[in-house]
Structure 1
Amino acid sequence: QVDNVSHKDITWEQRKLIELTSVFTDGDWIEAKDQSDSGIRLVQTGNVGTTEYLDKINNAKWISEDTFQTLKCKEIYEGDILISRLPEPAGRACIMPNLGTKMITAVDCTIVRTNENNDSKFLVQYLSTPSYFKIVNTFLGGGTRQRISRNNLAEIIVPTPCNIAEQAKIGAYFSQLDHLITLHQREF
């Protein structure tokens, strides 16, 4: 039971994931020969946890500025959402922190930048729900390496408060809850 909160004035709508974004594209195809010892950080699917970025600095991959220019890579920014299209689980998403360097991501990650009417923390919280993962699992395809296509991801319906301030409150609340759960788990 929630006290002193009126929910009857909050309108929700069903929107396709792609309708909530200003950027919705895949990362870059980077082969081993394209990698270097330093330069621009290559964020991989293994760095994408469910609602959290997993640094794994000992396994960090890089490309040079020249390779970035030659391959016309798409730079990702602090606050962008990365969605891993590969298991485990497919569809997991996190918000990119500032790593103190230019960043790109691999082809099996979808880069999502919410538009001005949508809150990224709210969206990432939705992208961690059991109902969302159930939908993702219905789309998994592709031989030995199961994945969800970017086109199928784009079509997933997201129940969204029309008011961005309401989205921000919900996103912040569940982000804080995630943080507290993580701290509690580390105690044991």
Structure 2
Amino acid sequence: MGKPKIRFKGYNDEWEQRKLGDLADRVTRKNQDLVSELPLTISAQYGLIDQNEFFDKRVASKDVSGYYLIENGEFAYNKSTDAPWGAIKRLDRYENGVLSTLYIVFGIKENNPVDSDFLVLYYSTNLWHKGIHEIAAEGARNHGLLNIAPADFFETKLMISQDIEEQNKIGKYFEELERLITLHQRKYDEMKTLKKYMLQKMFPQNGPKIPKIRFEGFTGEWEQRKLGNVLKFQNGFN
């Protein structure tokens, strides 16, 4: 049991430790009817994403009838990513998809006091790594594949609020932060592109003496000067 150092007003109860198996059920439905032929992979940055988009090629076999069928809102654990203890992501981008049976797929139990967004947030931290470390078999790093039994995976423990409304508020709060980060990242990328464009246009290139873009009121030609005529050089650290 424990309490966060910072929390929303009105919530005072201690958080509790729960087994993942108490909150979620393993999903082992096979894609026998070829409901989906979209092979997915897990990316730490993009989550569950189309293999063709992420790898620029298809890694899955042509016959995906033996793969797991994962539905939107369900989670998957990939134990063979570049991340030290694998990655756990929720399917958000597509209605459904297929995953290799090397993945552990699970969905939140019905009428269970755990918020899906809260679970997404929890698995974006490193709080769950200790539990994976404890169940990983000795020598599990051979070939980059963690040796983790599904039964042991569902024995891992999470520290969660007993109030689902608090879970929901926490999930929504960080979802909004992520949205703002994405927005500012997009603006940052746009400014970098603008800077590159203006550097090309506001400085004469390869012969011309007049920039293609300049501030209003300046019309004269630029001139070529030796660096030694512009700067004064000194010895030492100056």
TM-score by length of 2: 0.58
Q: Give the structure with the larger helix fraction.
A: 1
**Cross-structure match for 1:146:** 145
**Which one has a larger percent strand, Structure 1 or Structure 2?**
1
Percent identity, aligned pairs only? Answer: 23
Distance 2:46 2:165 in 1: 20
CA distance in 1, matches of 2:175, 2:161: 17
CA contact (8 A) 2:108 2:116 kept: yes
Secondary structure of the corresponding residue to residue 128 of structure 2 = helix
What are the Cα deviations for residues 108-145 of structure 1, in whole angstroms up to 9, with x where unaligned? Answer: 32112112322121112111222322432344443223
Query: Which of residues 91, 98, 114 is equivalent to 1:96?
Result: 91
> How do 1:15-94 residues align onto structure 2 when only pairs under 5 Å count?
15-21=18-24, 23-25=25-27, 40-44=37-41, 47-49=42-44, 52-56=47-51, 57=53, 58-60=56-58, 68=65, 71=66, 73-89=67-83, 90-94=85-89
Alpha-carbon spacing, 1:107–1:184, altered in 2? closer, same or farther (3 Å): farther
| Aligned counterpart, 1:33 | none
Q: Which residue of structure 2 aligns with residue 155 of structure 1?
A: 155
Computing the radius of gyration from Cα coordinates, the structure with the larger value is 2
**Separation (CA, whole Å) in 2 of partners of 1:108 and 1:3:** 37
Instruction: State the superposition RMSD in angstroms.
Output: 3.3
In structure 1, what is the Cα distance between the partners aligned to 2:144 and 2:22? Answer: 28
Contact preservation (8 Å) 1:27, 1:110: no
1:20-65 deviation line (CA, Å, top 9, x unaligned): 11x214687x9xxxxxxxx611212xx342683344523345677x
Report 1 or 2 for greater relative contact order, CA contacts < 8 Å, sequence distance ≥ 6.
1
Report the Cα distance in structure 1 between the residues aligned to 2:120 and 2:7, rounded to whole angstroms.
Answer: 26
Gaps of 5+ in 1: 31-38
- Residue 14 of structure 1 aligns with which residue? 17
